[in-house]
Structure 1
């Protein structure tokens, strides 16, 4: 029997003034308490009750600051069942944020201190007939860690001396980051369950793919059970059934159980493997385990598993002496990771629902992505996130939740707390087919190394105990087949080296220096030349696990987030949406690309153009370098609030221009132009599939007036998983100037059409602000087909609606004179009409 506590009541008190005995009394009058749903969030409940303004409203952060300084008490009632001698009643909190005491009928059960752990208690001896009062009190984090101190550094906006966040095992971004507000959460953030167990219970299940034959016609897998048997009154057995993706039983067996663990090895013929989207289907098997006591079912688990192997190849790169690979290998096939970095989908992590996860991850899959990096300053995500990644074939790079700070190693209690967190999350997530790598932390090694070079010191990294010992030891025991990487970035002669490991590229945007490790580190260069996105071409790294450019969300989001008087360039409300500093940092990037804006509408367009064109340039460069470079993870994919950040998709589900540019640049087959130092231009074809590509491409040199100067058909032949140049023209042949452009198209639709400009966007001699001819066809209440025809060259054509989570088959594209397109516009959640559609270009 499992019961769920879906609604709780909550009230705040001055610290230390509330009494559990009063709150737990049967006669408690909770009329002045407010309801909080679980899953849910305290801030949202307070807003609904009229005690807080909208936390995401115009400059309302400061009005919400009092929440973190109060003591919060949550209460719920339940009727306990009768408990036999061979039974126990287990109360489980899957997530308590963070310093909490659990009370039952006025007596303390335990205190907790980690948001990332589940907490279970046998309450069989503490219940009473009839109603039972379950109470959880939360102490402010500032009170709980007031006596903590250690030498620290931090690269977040708020001073670490104020928050001491490195002593607190909770979501680090909640104290504010350079893309999110300061809204530290508190309370019950994940489900609470009550389970009556009889004789024994399934503690854990481990599914492992050990080997796949070279021909991929045979796989060896295993299932390991951990059983908690607390009664000797029955004979235990476990039934194991494995069904293929079509529901056909491929293995079935009943095991007699005599100890705490049992395991079996399975040999699967003709396995349906789990692949990333460009390589095949994300095939999932259904694993069912039933625990019986004397033939009575007492527990069961159903899970989806994938048969696949994943490794990281760090062998030497013979073509680039002194360098080594960093590439993921799926089922024996090296892949190029085309992906993004994920931050929590809301500041209120307990309130993100399943549809929100599915929308965001489906958008990632639609944009030809195959990897999501869960960043280490947020949370280990909800189960739905990993389930959907399994379904869609999206690999998950999973950071442990440590980011941009040193972490204490000198307190045994803290060390054991981290150890328990690590073990819990490994056991929780290891069965997911999408899980590709565990990573120790975000930027710890790199920032410590950078600071040592800046100061000439040699300070060790506080936290290395976890990355070098605690985590790898736990993985060796609990999940030895999933790769581990100690930090991102790390590897090579420095911890942001272009010779080995992964890199966070922040020359573009932040102006960090790109210098060899044996040279002194220079100052940041924030000049337009220093941060120009063309500097991506200087990066010869192995795997770029962070890089990005900020851009404003669209006007649809700004209209929701800002009152009308703040929808002005430079307004305090607009600037509050920018958490990076200085607030005008984007100007240096805009100057050479679009020039500086004079209106809010121009600000939206110019920042989105710069982000989109810059990421396109970077992706194409990194992909052309495969296999020497084997990954591109853009910072960042999503937003936790309606802010101005590096995101591709904003908080309300509107894709920025860069989302659509990225989708095209992440196509499994990419044709891209490369400018050489002497002004010549090469055409490259990059192939991420397992097929040899042979076909015909057409390269055209055209003018914005509509003339075609020349058209060159060319045959190409690109090996599986390869990348190479297939055409070159000299600067003299091209007559490079601002009125001309190059395009490449596929005669058999193998790749998307691409183009190359010979000047910055602001300097192009082209028509501006023209619109295509438009005809809108209503297919259904939820789908429109927008037919477009261009009477001139059109740049940055985009279609918008006021509805978030709207699907566009393409958006933010160019059209040549005489070109026609049909764009599918679909939203299953709302009715859309032709009147909702707006079309613009730049």
Structure 2
């Protein structure tokens, strides 16, 4: 039987040519984390330390340990699940092989060998610059040479990430001892047809004895099947009658089934492969219609409005992301109503722990291949590496029912057309052959059960602009970069795959990251932790369209920028959801951060939820009430993504900001399952000018419409009472209180609130649950409460 020996212990780290003593190394890990643990470098997340450790990425590094290979098996393999990135592997000075791809595993035959195991890493900069010199310059959105090496692109920095170019043994390493044969690959095709679940397991084995008769036996759902090997391959087919279907969260349950496949020599088991699968069907409807070309996910025959977020690596040092951390972060997404997570192309193929959590939580996964925001050469040595990594990872991730879409790249097809690449390339390769050739061919061959799309954004063909909102996927960045977020309402894309608005992280996160700094919007540390081009300028201009800018008041700036982020995203999602089924999904940029930074994230780099994260719970709930401006006037949209009909009464009130009801009526609302119902607002209830607003209430849901920006609204001075109640804080409003927010981390860095922004009418009250606050008192609670105030 195959036996595995982990090799996580006993490693040391050296830098070639240095007389410094070797340091203990943690495997899996990376050079930066080892240097931090040894006190050689400071934490690059704090202050402006990032610049002080830039030298680390320019050095070569060597990992070493003793290796003893026991006898008793016909073959022993040294297996690295991940090496970051360019390295030579040697045993007692004997070369075992050279590697140049972070996204692949590597296997070396070390049968009968022992001695000093050395993994010598070359700087990823040196590799990238050498490849650029060989193949020529290619344009990119950033100056760093990330497109010339098969490595996590955002290691080289991004408009939300630090430049920390890593090296190391970033995934587990082990010895595998085996005799006769081992399982080299299992490719599971899982389908459902007419109530019958089918599992086809295509098996490849590696042999030491060619003549040995072998068989494979598989079980799933109480069904067993067996097949003999034809040389090194076999196919086992199983049929499971009436399997329980796996569904996205918010629809039905997520049953998972254990699959076990055993490689046999006679009755002797040689190797075992185990996974969990789910029975479900998935399609991507890209049909043409009167509105253009659709992009609608269909799971088990049910057409979905995808409630999505974009995922980046949760740490710039990804070896630090544990199974528990994946579960926490993805659990936060699920709690916010998310049902789709897009794994963005500037990162990595995530670990099994990520996809396991998505399987269990019912989060659909849209998986990018790792290409982003650059022209990628298609010549060797990159081309062979791209195909090898695609083949390995497509098969590795196939068992997961959560995985529903393969995507060729992020923004590269768009970049070729709009970012002045075509002329600069002058006919050189730039990646099109990957996205329209290699990758769809690999997916079609290995995983025909899932759809593939060439890129995001992509309109389906070069006869249209790649980012045409009427066709396929669309990215909206003009709004954040140049316009007011009200412009989100200017069009109805078929699928909004990227859009977002920035805000700083939580106050406690900033205090930890900038411990010695007097915080200001433009203080040195704040500017260092703002990586977007003119990011603070865009934050200011976006704020000034709605509020008087709080000059010199950091706390007010911090609160208002977070309000503006939540309001901007709400404007887009409410508009696009109200246009279902023309628009079939929104994927917020972005869910998470990889360090403490001002960014578009809903959850900051320390894992704290911004107000936006709480707002997503409302925006992505099965039922959403929203007031929209349509021709000829205001309408109430009742968005019902639930399986049941939504029938009820809605109360409409036209009010003054002083709290006086000017007009009121009730109306019936009837929204069929998975549909949107529109109810016209009577003309006499439409607010007249900035002193009035409209309130709609139905079944515990509320929608508000203020016809003017806040800076023009004559709000009363907010008055409210605060009291401590078991488990939280109760606030009772004496006036209109707009966008009340309890910043729980100002009470205690460990404290968390159970809700974000809430607007109270005079006389209304809300109880905000708080956990992690050891010494509650009303005055401290009041000091952490913020709301919109009259313009000064």
**1:766 Cα offset (Å):** 2.5
- For each residue in 1:522-549, what CA deviation from the matched residue of structure 2 results, as whole angstroms up to 9, or x when unmatched? xxxxxxxxx1000001122111110011
Tell me if 1:327 matches 2:296: yes
Cα distance, 1:207 vs structure 2:
2.6
Deviation at 1:636, TM superposition (A): 1.2
The residue correspondences of 1:16-415 to structure 2 (distance < 5 A) are: 17=17, 32-84=21-73, 87-125=74-112, 127-128=113-114, 132-147=115-130, 148-149=132-133, 150-156=136-142, 159=143, 163-213=144-194, 217-232=195-210, 234-243=212-221, 249=222, 251-318=223-290, 320=291, 323-409=292-378, 411-415=379-383
Q: Partner residue of 1:504?
A: 475
Q: CA deviation at 1:4?
A: 1.4
Contact 1:276 1:395 in 2 (8 A): yes
- Judge conservation of contact 2:743–2:753 (CA < 8 Å) in 1: no
Aligned partner of 2:722 in structure 1 is 773
Distance (Å, rounded) in 1 between the aligned partners of 2:386 and 2:576: 36
**Residue deviations 1:196-245 (CA, integer Å, cap 9, x gap):** 112221222233233333xxx443343333332332475433332213xx
* Greater shift in the superposed pair: 419-428 or 258-267: 258-267
Residue 485 of structure 1 corresponds to which residue in structure 2? 453
TM-superposed CA distance for 1:452, in Å, is 4.9
Q: What is aligned with 1:27?
A: none
Pairing 1:780-819 to 2, within 5 Å after superposition: 784-802=727-745, 808-819=753-764
Aligned counterpart for 1:621 among listed residues 572, 575, 587? 575
Look up the SS of the partner of 2:478 in the other structure.
Answer: coil
Deviations 1:601-644 (A, max 9, x none): 12211211111101000001111111111110011111111011
Provide the TM-score with structure 1 as the length reference.
0.87
Instruction: Please give the per-residue CA displacement for 1:776-828, whole angstroms capped at 9, x wherever unaligned.
Output: 31xxxxxx34444333322222233336786643222122222233334446x
Cα offset, 1:688, TM superposition: 1.7
Question: In the alignment, is residue 567 of structure 1 matched against residue 519 of structure 2?
Answer: yes
1:581 aligns to 2:533 (yes or no): yes
TM-aligned CA distance change 1:701 to 1:458, over 3 Å: farther
User: What do the CA deviations read for 1:272-320 (whole angstroms, capped 9, x no partner)?
Assistant: 11111121112211112222333233221221111111111011223x2
| Structure 2, unaligned runs of 5 or more | 788-792
For the pair 1:543 / 2:495, whether they are aligned, the reply is yes
Give the C-alpha shift of residue 773 in structure 1: 2.4
Distance, in Å, in 2 between the alignment partners of 1:626 and 1:52 is 52
Cα distance in 2, alignment partners of residues 220 and 144 from structure 1:
45
- Contact 2:62 2:120 (8 Å CA) reproduced: yes
Report SS of the residue matched to 1:510: helix
Aligned positions of 1:620-659 closer than 5 A: 620-659=574-613
Post-superposition CA distance 1:465-491 (Å, at most 9, x none):
111111111111111111101111111
Contact kept, 8 Å, 1:312 with 1:329, in 2: the verdict is: yes
In 2: Cα distance, 1:324 partner to 1:471 partner: 22
Closer, same or farther: CA 253–556 of 1 in aligned 2, 3 Å:
same
* Structure 2 equivalent of residue 517 of structure 1: none
Q: What secondary structure, in the 3-state scheme, does the structure 2 residue paired with 1:195 have?
A: strand
CA distance in 2, matches of 1:805, 1:432: 34
CA contact (8 A) 1:212 1:308 kept: no
- The 3 A distance-change label for structure 1 pair 203 and 455 is closer
Contact 1:201 1:291 in 2 (8 A): yes
Count of paired positions: 772
Kept in 1, the 8 Å contact 2:196–2:239? The answer is yes
Q: 1:416 to 1:457 in 2, by over 3 A?
A: closer
Quote the Cα distance in structure 1 between the aligned partners of 2:266 and 2:775: 62
Rounded to whole Å, the distance in 2 between the matches of 1:212 and 1:416 is: 36
Q: Which residue is 2:8 aligned to? A: 6
Change (3 A) 1:313 1:563: same
Q: How many angstroms apart in 1 are the aligned matches of 2:424 and 2:38?
A: 54
Distance in 2 (alpha carbons) for counterparts of 1:478 and 1:533: 42
Whether contact under 8 Å (1:768, 1:795) holds in the other structure is: no
In structure 1, C-alpha distance between the alignment counterparts of 2:359 and 2:591, rounded to whole Å: 18
- In structure 1, the residue matched to 2:786 is 841
Residues 638, 647 of structure 1: 8 Å contact kept: yes
Q: What is the aligned partner in structure 1 of residue 790 from structure 2?
A: none
Q: TM-score, normalised by structure 2?
A: 0.93
Q: Which structure 1 segments of 5+ residues have no match?
A: 19-29, 244-248, 512-530, 778-783
**Cα deviations by residue, 1:489-548 (Å, 9 ceiling, x for unpaired):** 11151100012110110121123xxxxxxxxxxxxxxxxxxx100000112211111001
User: 1:821 maps to which residue?
Assistant: 766
2:639 maps to which of 678, 686, 689: 686
Q: Which moved more, 1:283-292 or 1:764-773?
A: 764-773
User: Which of 483, 494, 500 in structure 1 is aligned with 2:465?
Assistant: 494
Distance 1:614 1:103 in 2: 54
RMSD: 2.4
Q: Which deviates the most, 369-378 or 287-296?
A: 287-296
Q: CA deviation at 1:175?
A: 1.2
Q: The residue matched to 1:121 in structure 2 has which SS?
A: strand
Structure 2 SS opposite 1:391: helix
1:795 and 1:841 in contact (8 A); partners too? no
Secondary structure of the residue aligned to 2:97 is strand
How far the C-alpha of 1:192 sits from its partner, in A, is 0.6
The counterpart of 2:616, out of the listed 655, 662, 678, is: 662
Aligned with residue 432 of structure 1, among 400, 403, 411: 400
User: 1:642 and 1:255 mapped to 2: Cα distance?
Assistant: 53
Displacement of 1:746 in angstroms is: 2.2
Deviation at 1:651, TM superposition (A): 0.6
**1:99 Cα deviation from its structure 2 partner:** 0.9
Cα distance, 1:684 vs structure 2: 0.6
Shift of 1:453: 9.6
Q: Distance in 2 between matches of 1:673 and 1:605?
A: 25
Offset, 1:393: 0.8
Contact 2:215–2:226 under 8 Å retained in 1? yes
Match of 2:412 among 422, 427, 444: 444
**Alpha carbons of 1:286 and 1:832: their partners in 2 closer, same or farther (altered >3 Å)?**
farther
What's the CA shift for 1:657? 1.2
Residue 758 of structure 1 is matched in structure 2 by: 707
Contact 2:308 2:340 in 1 (8 A): yes
Aligned to 1:523: none
Structure 2: distance between partners of 1:146 and 1:568: 38
State the Cα deviation string for residues 154-187 of structure 1 (Å, max 9, x = none): 112xx2xxx4321111011111111111111111
1:726–1:430: structure 2 CA closer, same or farther, 3 Å change rule? same
Give the distance between the partners of 1:173 and 1:457, measured in 2 at CA. Answer: 23
3-state DSSP of counterpart to 2:455: coil
